[in-house]
Amino acid sequence: MVDLDAYFARIGYDGPRAATPQVLARLHALHPAAVTFEAIDCLLDRGVDISPAAVDAKIIAGGRGGYCFEQNSLFRRVLEALGFRVTGLAARVRWNMPPDAPAQPRTHQVLSVEIPGEPGRRLVDVGFGGCVLTTPLPLAPHVETETPHDVYRLTPVGDELRLEVRREAGWVAAYDVSLTPCEPRDYEMANWFTSTHPTSHFRHTLLAGRTTPEARYGLLFNRLAIRPVGGEPTYAFLDADGIEHHLRETFGLPVEPSWRPAIETAARGAP
């Protein structure tokens, strides 16, 4: 299913291999620090292959990042190999959208995880960019969970649960999770739309996100945002060389010469 030795080396984990709350929490913290959220292949018209072999070759062996369908599918296989019970779910993204924005398609993959011998389910998500979780959340409404980076809660919205994060302006909606389990082909369809459809923002936007114990790092077009734990966010606007530098050094990506045209376009800023 997955080469655990290679995956653990990729994220820097050398602890127990057991289905316990402690192991789940540790893996959930390490993954977003090691594996950058990015969708550069969408910009380059390469498409995104979410088959296990392709994901492992890209993220584990190739040192690349990926977006939700890649990262959470990999994380699911890791957790299942350790003995966790995992159910795939889908969500409608609301991040950076006005409250009255029309409902989006369910194009974000998340996971519901059950721990043997422990009550309840956990919301697990290692693939959501600059707002990514760094710890599992109780998959239940009206529970505030404080993490080193942000405070989260789930709020009922119809028959879905809305993930909200508390920021300087108050509670901000991240996405609405449906509790209906997904089949693998549901993700194949959503991934095809997200990676190829002209209206998908991944087709037009250079972005990267990485969350370490010290800070959240986010790149959107030419703007680099750093949100240090316990400190004030800072922003910088980069030229093409600066973008390429930070993709390598801050986000740990193996930048290819073929990326340069997309980088130069991003350096001109958002359209």
**Rounded Cα–Cα distance for residues 51 and 56 (Å):** 9
Which of these is catalytic: 28, 56, 68, 131?
A: 68
Mean pLDDT of the chain: 95
Nearest 5°: the CA angle 205, 123, 204 is 5
What is the structure's pLDDT at 227?
A: 95
Mean pLDDT over residues 37-50, rounded?
96
Mean pLDDT over residues 20-44, rounded?
98
Q: Is 42 a catalytic residue?
A: no
Mean pLDDT over residues 9-23, rounded?
98
**Rounded Cα–Cα distance for residues 42 and 39 (Å):** 6
What is the structure's pLDDT at 60?
A: 98
- With beta carbons less than 8 A apart as the criterion, state whether 64 and 253 touch: yes
What is the structure's pLDDT at 106?
A: 93
What is the structure's pLDDT at 259?
A: 97
112-170 tens-digit pLDDT? 999 999 999 999 999 998 899 999 999 999 999 999 999 999 999 999 999 999 987 78
260 or 103, greater pLDDT: 260
Class of domain 4-267: alpha beta
Which of these is catalytic: 28, 108, 149, 246?
A: 108
pLDDT at 99 over 80: no
Tokens 């697990």 appear where? Answer: 124
Nearest 5°: the CA angle 58, 46, 254 is 40
What is the structure's pLDDT at 163?
A: 97
181-205 tens-digit pLDDT? 999 999 999 999 999 999 999 999 9
**Rounded Cα–Cα distance for residues 164 and 174 (Å):** 5
What is the structure's pLDDT at 103?
A: 79
Which of these is catalytic: 41, 56, 125, 150?
A: 125
Tokens 């909606």 appear where? Answer: 173
**Rounded Cα–Cα distance for residues 170 and 51 (Å):** 39
Q: Is 68 a catalytic residue?
A: yes
pLDDT at 179 over 90: yes
